[in-house]
Amino acid sequence: MSTSDHPSQALATFAAELSFERIPDAVMRRAEDLMLDWLGSVLAARSARPVRSIQRFAEMMGPAEGPSEVLISRRTTSPLFAALVNAAASHYVEQDDVHNGSVFHPAAVVFAPALAVAQAVGASGKQLLTAVVAGYEVGIRVGEFLGRSHYRTFHTTSTAGTLAAAAAVGRLLDLTPAQMPHAFGSAGTQSAGVWEFLRDAADSKQLHCAHASAAGLMSAYLAQDGFTGAARVLEGAQGLGVGMSSDADPAKLADGLGTRWTLAETSFKFHASCRHTHPAADALLQVMQQNRLKAGDIARVVTHVHQGAIDVLGRVVVPATVHQAKFSMGTVLGLIAVHGRAGLTEFDRDFLAPEVAAFRDKVMMELDGDVDAAYPARWIGKVSVTTTDGRTLTGRVDEPKGDPGNTLSRAEIEDKMQRLTQYGGSATAEEAKAACARIWSLAGEARVGRLLG
């Protein structure tokens, strides 16, 4: 049977047979980067109300101790519940990674189940990282397979997430190429998650990540035990493509397996604001750094943007809440100008601070033909800055900070992780530093231990 006859089998075989040696070094290093970035996101959400609810449910229903680490509580439990709680925390502060093509947040549904199971089965660091790559490569391709029509109603991180989790856990459990499709079948038939919660700003995003991680984990364990699933749960006549998409493309499932590493296409989030503000924020930073400007030196900023930015950001002028502030171009640039960064802490503390508010009112958005034509393939940042002493300076960034072509350095990732950890009050700076060191040396560990404490 060829790949084109049964692409999900090709994908399952790839995940089952993936070995550390086959993965390019640069991809493996990026996997470590993403793991540290994920850890920061989890630790930032320690006190978040919806995450705490899922934590309490896990404590009520699950064992009080076990082999796997619940990062936000420092307790242990069985892999299922560690995956559930850590996943619920992964996406809360919305600082985790994103794969643009699949509109999928892989870290949120891959690292939590993979870490929990690695700790339970005594996996090595190489085995964990290999499993993570398997999860990314599967989840992103499933997201691309489900397509844009799917994303209109379904939260792809949630739906494709069950398969991403199943692939990562399945790799750790050493599922064979014959067993892995059963894990996919069970995971796919638990794929769920719709966008309707956005209307009410309800807590479902946290549930989606938790559900996908737990359901995928369960599917892999069941497959190991001989429990069978549909061989074509994705591309079959009564599968997810037919049921939940109108433009599903089975060819995406096996696209470039072993040569195209989609994990390395994933973007980091650098600023804590809406992604549409990031290009302009980067361009403003560039102008200010190159010209050694301070906020007080600036009289006016015009951001030259794509239409989508105006559509999404245009409505918020004076933000009433922190959440709205993240969609206010003026506020974001104000935080950048005053503090040099627009992170979670700066938003919480200063989104209405007088100096930030004063800068906010100096910012305008203008539609730019070139920037708009390049979108969405490229998110170009372009600003014109007028200084108080009458100069006009321009800045331009062709890839926003965090995209694959302008990725974060390890120092920047550590710095972001430290800030997220402090934000959540989840660990001391020393503990966070030790966790960083542990992840940078993970590939040499014979056995994945606890990340904290």
Amino acid at 181: P
Reference 285, options 400, 389, 413; nearest CA is 400
Minimum CB distance to its own copies smaller for 243 or for 314: 243
**Interacting residue with its own copies among 218, 288, 397, 442 (CB under 8 A):** 218
> Which stretch in 31-39, 230-238, 316-324, 344-352 sits in contact with its own copies by CB under 8 A?
230-238
In sequence order, which residues have a C-beta less than 8 Å from that of residue 54 and are 6 or more positions away? 84, 85, 88, 206, 207, 210
**Interacting residue with its own copies among 139, 239, 330, 402 (CB under 8 A):** 239
> Which stretch in 20-28, 191-199, 257-265, 407-415 sits in contact with its own copies by CB under 8 A?
191-199
Provide the minimum distance between the beta carbon of 66 and its own copies in the complex, in angstroms, as a whole number: 9
- Contact yes or no for 304/384 (Cβ under 8 A): yes
Interaction pattern, residues 348-387, with its own copies; x per rule: CB under 8 A? ----------------------------------------
Q: Which of residues 243-262 bind its own copies (CB under 8 A)?
A: 243-244
Q: Which of residues 68-87 bind its own copies (CB under 8 A)?
A: 78-81
**Interacting residue with its own copies among 90, 130, 156, 204 (CB under 8 A):** 204
**Interacting residue with its own copies among 125, 139, 193, 400 (CB under 8 A):** 193
Q: What's the rounded Cα separation, in Å, for the pair 138 and 128?
A: 15
Provide the minimum distance between the beta carbon of 236 and its own copies in the complex, in angstroms, as a whole number: 4
> Which stretch in 104-112, 220-228, 356-364, 425-433 sits in contact with its own copies by CB under 8 A?
220-228
Q: Which of residues 6-65 bind its own copies (CB under 8 A)?
A: 49-50, 53-54, 56-57, 60-64
Helix %, strand %, coil % of the chain (to 5): 60, 10, 35
For 304: left if phi > 0, alpha if psi spans -120 to 50, otherwise beta; the answer is: beta
Distance of CA 259 to the CA centre of its chain: 22
Provide the minimum distance between the beta carbon of 135 and its own copies in the complex, in angstroms, as a whole number: 19
**Interacting residue with its own copies among 13, 157, 191, 303 (CB under 8 A):** 191
Minimum CB distance to its own copies smaller for 121 or for 352: 121
Reference 298, options 395, 374, 402; nearest CA is 395
Cβ atoms < 10 Å from Cβ of 321? 11
Instruction: Give the DSSP letter string of 149-218.
Output: HHHHHB-HHHHHHHHHHHHHHHHHTT--TTTHHHHHHHHHTT---BGGGGGGT-THHHHHHHHHHHHHHH
Considering the rule CB under 8 A, would residue 154 count as an interface residue with its own copies?
A: yes
**Interacting residue with its own copies among 27, 29, 176, 195 (CB under 8 A):** 195
Considering the rule CB under 8 A, would residue 194 count as an interface residue with its own copies?
A: yes
Minimum CB distance to its own copies smaller for 142 or for 233: 233
Reference 194, options 209, 203, 204; nearest CA is 204
Minimum CB distance to its own copies smaller for 8 or for 127: 8
Q: What's the rounded Cα separation, in Å, for the pair 45 and 206?
A: 11
Instruction: Give the DSSP letter string of 411-443.
Output: HHHHHHHHHHHHHHT-S-HHHHHHHHHHHHTGG
Tokens of 374: 């390049």
Minimum CB distance to its own copies smaller for 151 or for 440: 151
Provide the minimum distance between the beta carbon of 285 and its own copies in the complex, in angstroms, as a whole number: 36
Tokens of 317: 């002028």
Helix axes 156-172, 106-121, angle to 10 degrees: 20
Q: What's the rounded Cα separation, in Å, for the pair 363 and 141?
A: 39
Minimum CB distance to its own copies smaller for 102 or for 273: 102
> Which stretch in 104-112, 187-195, 281-289, 330-338 sits in contact with its own copies by CB under 8 A?
187-195
Q: What's the rounded Cα separation, in Å, for the pair 355 and 114?
A: 44
Q: Which of residues 410-439 bind its own copies (CB under 8 A)?
A: none
Q: Contacts with its own copies: how many residues (CB under 8 A)?
A: 62
Considering the rule CB under 8 A, would residue 221 count as an interface residue with its own copies?
A: yes
Binding site for its own copies (CB under 8 A): 49-50, 53-54, 56-57, 60-64, 78-81, 152-154, 158, 182, 185-186, 188-200, 202-204, 207-208, 211, 215, 218, 221-222, 225-233, 236-240, 242-244
